Chains A and B, each alone.
Chain A
Amino acid sequence: DVKVTQSSRYLVKRTGEKVFLECVQDMDHENMFWYRQDPGLGLRLIYFSYDVKMKEKGDIPEGYSVSREKKERFSLILESASTNQTSMYLCASRTGTGMTDTQYFGPGTRLTVL
């Protein structure tokens, strides 16, 4: 079974702090994704990566950056956390170059910024 793990299930941070969310997948997938999930808005793509050190902006990249130094690990960084970044963050991974392959999701990190 594909496994996507996220470093924390729950996280509480203060405004202005630098926040790291880590995601690891164990299936040698080329593609990895970060989404945020908010009630009534569904999932929105923040960033994705199709290879090591490669990244592309999604629909809502403002206030976020990412890092992919190793194939299995994709980090989401909030440089200076703000209260409007309180959300559920979901990581996903997928193999292949087209959308015929399934995206596998981690359990999510619920981040609260105070």
Chain B
Amino acid sequence: AQSVTQLDSQVPVFEEAPVELRCNYSSSVSVYLFWYVQYPNQGLQLLLKYLSGSTLVKGINGFEAEFNKSQTSFHLRKPSVHISDTAEYFCAVSKTGANNLFFGTGTRLTVIP
């Protein structure tokens, strides 16, 4: 069975500073990996996904993530955050060929002016 661990429940960071949100997964088979963002009072929106190929994936709003198979990680990064990046971020995993996603518990990113 898949599981997803987001190591930090809350991450405060100053505006224009870099940020890394950590995600580790466990699975004995090949997986697809996703990062979703939830802005206040909204549903989830896809930031980026890794399916295959290049391990560095670029998403919307300047975010990127790197798939590391040996460390079973898929950390999300942004070199310079903006106030508008304040949101909750969810990492998710799906086994290839499966029909549903398994979500982590979320990381609340707060950007401080």
Give A contacts to B, CB under 8 Å.
4, 31, 33, 35, 40-45, 48, 50, 56, 58, 90, 92, 97-100, 102-103, 105-108
Contacts and interface: CB of A to CB of B under 8 A. Distances in A.
Interface string B72-113: 000000000000000000100011111111011110000000
Contacts of B49: 102
Given A31-B99, A99-B98, A100-B32, A40 B9 contact: yes
Interface of B: 4, 6, 9, 32, 36, 41-46, 49, 51, 90, 94-101, 103-106
A93 B47 CA distance: 16
Pairs A-B, 6 closest by C-beta atoms? A105-B43, A99-B94, A42-B105, A43-B103, A105-B44, A42-B103
B100 A108 contact: no
Contacts of B45: 105
A42 B2 CA distance: 15
A44 B99 CA distance: 14
Nearest to A108: B43
Central interface residue in B46, B94, B100, B103, by most chain A CB within 10 Å:
B100
Nearest to A96: B99
A106 B43 contact: yes
Contact of A4 (B6, B43, B90): B43
A90 B41 CA distance: 12
